Amino acid sequence: MKKLILTTLFILLYSINSYADNSRFIDFTKVLNTSKPGADAQNKLKERFESESKKFITIEKSIRKEESEIISQKKTLPAEEYKKKVQALRKKVTQTQKNKKISFNKLSKSRSDARKALLKELEPIIQRYMEKNNIKMVLNKQSVILGDTNLEITNQIIVIVNKEVSSIKLN
């Protein structure tokens, strides 16, 4: 019985150790942010965000100006006309907030889609790298508590991605 337990324990430890020898880890966040296609996508999305932000800042300034004009006319306008202008302004504010939310949700979806597209492109690249270098398992760096830096393959994958993936299509 002792022999069986010792043999089983030995085999189990050996198999765990053999997987540890053939496993590597990768920092997907770094690949997504620093690879050429990932960085290009990030820059395009940042430009879109800044453009949309400027557009809505301009609209909000216009609404504030209109609001101050309406307030200044409060004493000179008839109550009914003043009420109509306030209601129209409120509708305009509500519509602007709605459009802003839609716009930023679209940007968020574009970012998520770009991330998924790059990860989809990464999968076969990592698979080939694993086969070429006899690696049995690749882990996400975020899941690794502690590991030898020699086991990290992030930079090698970034080099391959930069060669093989020209860009990511954004919606």
Count of structural domains, the chain: 1
Q: Alpha-carbon Rg of the chain, whole angstroms?
A: 28
CATH of the domain at 35: 3.30.910.20
Question: What is the tens place of the pLDDT at every residue in 42-86?
Answer: 999 999 999 999 999 999 999 999 999 888 888 888 888 888 989
List 152's β-bridge partners, or say none. 25
Tell me if 10 is assigned to some domain. Answer: no
Tell me if 106 is assigned to some domain. Answer: yes
pTM for the predicted model, two decimal places: 0.71
Tell me if 15 is assigned to some domain. Answer: no
Tell me if 103 is assigned to some domain. Answer: yes
Tell me if 11 is assigned to some domain. Answer: no
Question: What is the tens place of the pLDDT at every residue in 104-129?
Answer: 999 999 999 988 988 898 999 999 99
Tell me if 9 is assigned to some domain. Answer: no
The pLDDT, as a whole number, for residue 159 is 92
Tell me if 73 is assigned to some domain. Answer: yes
Domain that residue 56 falls in = 22-164
Tell me if 94 is assigned to some domain. Answer: yes
Dihedral, CA of residue 89, residue 90, residue 95 and residue 97, to nearest 10:
110
